[in-house]
Amino acid sequence: MQTIAIVDYGMGNVRSVQKALEFVAPNDNCILTSDSQIIRDSDRVVFPGQGAMGSCMKALESNSLIEEIKSSFESKPFLGICLGLQLLFDYSEENNGTKGLSFIPGKVVKFTNNKLKIPHMGWNNVNQVKEHPLWYKITNNSRFYSVHSYYVEPINSNYVYGTSDYGHEFASVIAFDKIFAVQFHPEKSQSDGLQLLRNFVSWS
């Protein structure tokens, strides 16, 4: 049995992520936690995300979790969801400018097309631009559920493993080494979302 730490920083419905992981990995220990020791001792880390970037970073700082999160990037499989993708970057335009964890060079910017409804909410296709173990049994251009007003702009396109379109093409999946991070919510994306979580819990 492995332990999957789901980072609970006091924002968003993280319980839905836990329930989805418990469904795909019933024999594993899926723990909602803000305890740095539990995160350190876990086999995998999931960072779910809803809410504003500024509030998220403040919550991580107040719980002394920033260094532990950074350490987990390098030591074990890490899945970032929505805000858990955006915080990997240097900087976000949200909250009049917020510094991120600077693990992947680039920034987070707001959708500005006034012909589009913001936030981008609902189902959208994800184009798998590169192969990855977490795409196993997921058809290219499958639809996933998203809720976001901001999107990531990596400096290096080598990090981009999936794209979506909302007025223009944007990076919706980033991967690097042990990191896989998505702009959408797999826990809300029915069978394909559950398959992605199933792939994550067996990814080595």
Active site residue ranges: 82, 185, 187
- Return d(Cα 138, Cα 147) in angstroms, integer: 21
Q: What letter would DSSP give residue 70?
A: H
The first and second tokens of residue 57, run together, are 């970073």
**What 3-state class would DSSP assign to 19?**
helix
Supply 54's token pair: 């500024």
Q: How far apart are CA 198 and CA 192, in angstroms?
A: 10
Q: What is the rounded CA–CA span in Å between residue 166 and residue 97?
A: 23
